[in-house]
Amino acid sequence: MQKIGLLYHPKIGESLRLAQSLEELLTSKGLSTWIGSAWEDEEARKHIPDLDLIVTFGGDGTILRAARMAVPQSTPILSVNMGRFGFLAEAEPEKAVEILPTILAGDYWLEERIMLHAELHRDGDQQASYEALNDVVVGHAVMSRVVRLATYVDGEHVAEYVADGLIVATPTGSTAYSLAAGGPILHPQLKVVLLTPIAPHRALERSIVLPPECNIEIRLSTEYPAVLTIDGQIDTQLEDADRILVSVSPHRCNLVRTQPRNYFGRNLLERLKQ
């Protein structure tokens, strides 16, 4: 690793200070660095293709941003937890200085997480496309109003949801919104897709686990405002008859790990106790 990117959370003052401290450490070792805000996507995307490693200083949301920025390079991400839960984090702030030399020496492994690719189609034309590490959500934008979501898997009609919305999640996202909506927790290294309805009415209430090769189509029917949300961070207004296509992305998120490979169960119990 020769060039390291340091992404800090602009709303957490200590995040920038720690990033600057590690920048001094890395430059003292003769490494090239770039430091930037995780909220300045356009600027970060200019630098990421040249990076060998991205270090994030923030919560899980900062990692989600970094994962999307890293497409299509799939640049490895080391996460320093400065958020609340830190499901995805590798190190706490006090361990950041200690862990970096270990990683630079090559003593680490990469945990590959699948991502989703989503497309918004309207009137026969593709309007936009997105990558997501956690989830793609189609839902209402007005309280107390449901949306109707005809859902197809590989062209077969599998459900007609009348609900607050529908979550299409990766195993990474199974501990996020999907879990709050009653979905199961999946091991993060599984290569599957999870469908979880949000407060469904007269419809299938359980989550559905699908294989990674499947293609999901959601056809929206609504008289009220609706929204497409990517990783809980990007919102796009939807219209009646819009179609959302979701599949497993060809790109991956690579998380740098120094913990034992069986870390997930221990970390899960610790995070859920918070």
Find the CATH number of the domain harbouring 230: 2.60.200.30
Number of domains in the chain: 2
Look up 107 and say whether it is catalytic.
Answer: no
Per DSSP, the residues of 255-271 read: EEE-S-TT-HHHHHHHH
The answer to whether residues 76 and 163 belong to one domain is: no
Note whether 144 and 205 are same-domain residues: yes
246 in the same domain as 125: yes
Predicted structure pTM score: 0.94
Per-residue pLDDT, 252: 97
246-264 pLDDT, tens digit per residue, is 999 999 999 999 999 998 8
Is there a single domain that holds both residue 87 and residue 144? no
- Residue 273 predicted with pLDDT over 70: no
pLDDT tens digits, one per residue of 8-61: 999 998 999 999 999 999 999 999 999 999 999 999 999 999 999 999 999 999
Instruction: Report how far residue 151's alpha carbon sits from residue 148's, in angstroms, rounded to the nearest whole number.
Output: 9
Active-site residue (options: 41, 50, 52, 60): 60
Confidence of residue 234 (pLDDT cuts 50, 70, 90): very high
Q: Indicate whether 122 and 21 sit together in one domain.
A: no
**CATH code (residue 57):** 3.40.50.10330
Q: Is the pLDDT of residue 274 over 70?
A: no
Co-location of 148 and 224 in the same domain:
yes
Single-letter amino acid, residue 14: E
100/17 same-domain check = yes
Residues 158 and 224 in one domain: yes
* Distance (Å, whole) CA 87 – CA 274: 11
**Which 3 state secondary structure label does DSSP give 20?**
helix
Mean of all residue pLDDT scores within the chain: 94
DSSP letter assigned to residue 95: G
Domain shared by 124 and 244, yes or no: yes
DSSP secondary-structure letter at 47? H
For 144-186, the pLDDT digits (tens) are: 789 999 999 999 999 999 999 999 999 999 999 999 999 999 9
**12 shares its domain with 120:** no
Range of the domain at 173: 115-250
pLDDT at residue number 56:
97
Residues 99 and 187 grouped into a single domain: no
Percent of the chain scored above 70 by pLDDT? 98
52 lies in the same domain as 131: no
Mean pLDDT of 227-251: 98
Q: What percent of the chain has pLDDT over 90?
A: 85
